[in-house]
Amino acid sequence: MNTLIPSEKRWIITGVLLAGLVGGALLFTSFIRAADETLFLCSTANAKSRAVAAAADYAATPIQLQAIVHYATSTVVPQQNLAEISISFNILKKLAPANFLVFGLGRDSLMWASLNPRGKTLFLEEDLEWFQKVTKDSPFLRAHHVRYRTQLQQADSLLRSYKTEPNCFPAKSYLRGNEKCKLALTGLPDEFYDTEWDLLMLDAPKGYFPEAPGRMAAIFSAAVMARNRKKPGVTHVFLHDVNRRVEKTFAEEFLCRKYRVNAAGRLWHFAIPPVAANATIDSGDYRFC
């Protein structure tokens, strides 16, 4: 996969987007054909109009069309390779429209938004200059500029200290206003806390120099949100750059190896179930896994 030249990879991404639209078009056609047969057999005057209305749900959205044009004409391609993208894409196909939280704005933002048509896709970006550039070029993306409390160089101390802070323990863990737990994401927009996310893509914040925020808090907070889920089903968490020590260590500490269901390249996919309402959790136990 790494041997793909940019033009080849560009057309692969465009193909992924086109596949969704072609599938919708075929389904649209089947609706119309079914309606015609119903009209012929049953003389139901409004059958065709109902079929058209139902098929309208599969019509291409403006952001999907924009994504196709963008990736077909740009030399800039998403950071992830096809195998990595396909893991998330397959889940989105099953769940969309879904609530999809993406850490980081990047070359793949337009793709992720277009793969969740009529769903909520929210991006969080810590780099103000980059945030302004991306949102200027793509003002239709739903995005917030955010600040993190951590630095990558604190990763080891944070991994030790959370074990002695009760507000970080699974039995009590929460995010909004949890200032005592340094791994909890606080001070973010209300939309982050008020939405129950079906999928989370952790491909940010930066984690490749000591003063960078690192992904420690994003990983911990993803685990907390997944465990506290109220809707039926699991929360899908996709973590990129697991070749790096911090990402791998924190994933195994909070997202749990037993919940890892897929992997490709530098991406791990976790399907984390909520904690049962009647489950008994030791209030003094710091372990998530």
pLDDT over 80 (residue 48): no
Report the C-alpha dihedral over residues 15, 21, 23, 27, rounded to 10 degrees. -170
- Residue 81's pLDDT band (boundaries 50, 70, 90)? very high
Going from the C-alpha of 287 to that of each of 85, 112, 113, 164, the distances in angstroms are: 31, 32, 34, 11
Query: In a 3-state reduction of DSSP, which class is residue 184?
Result: coil
* The pLDDT of residue 72: 72
Q: pLDDT tens-digit profile of 3-22? A: 444 555 555 555 555 555 54
pLDDT, greater one: 72 or 210:
210
Q: pLDDT tens-digit profile of 129-157? A: 999 999 999 999 999 999 999 999 999 99
pLDDT over 70 (residue 117): yes
The rounded distance, in Å, linking the Cα atoms of 105 and 143 is 8
pLDDT, greater one: 61 or 11:
61
- Residue 52's pLDDT band (boundaries 50, 70, 90)? very low
The rounded distance, in Å, linking the Cα atoms of 175 and 186 is 6
Q: Are 153 and 99 in contact (CB under 8 A)?
A: no
pLDDT, greater one: 32 or 149:
149
pLDDT over 90 (residue 62): no
Instruction: Give the burial class of 139: count Cβ atoms within 10 A of its Cβ; 0-12 exposed, 13-18 middle, 19 or more buried.
Output: exposed
* The pLDDT of residue 73: 78
Closest C-alpha to 64, from 120, 11, 110, 25: 110
* The pLDDT of residue 43: 47
**What is the DSSP code (8-state) at residue 78?**
-
The rounded distance, in Å, linking the Cα atoms of 32 and 151 is 56
Closest C-alpha to 114, from 60, 190, 181: 60
- Residue 212's pLDDT band (boundaries 50, 70, 90)? very high
**pTM (two decimals):** 0.81
pLDDT over 80 (residue 90): yes
* The pLDDT of residue 199: 98
From first CA to last CA, the distance across the chain in angstroms is: 33
The token duo for 93 is: 């196909």
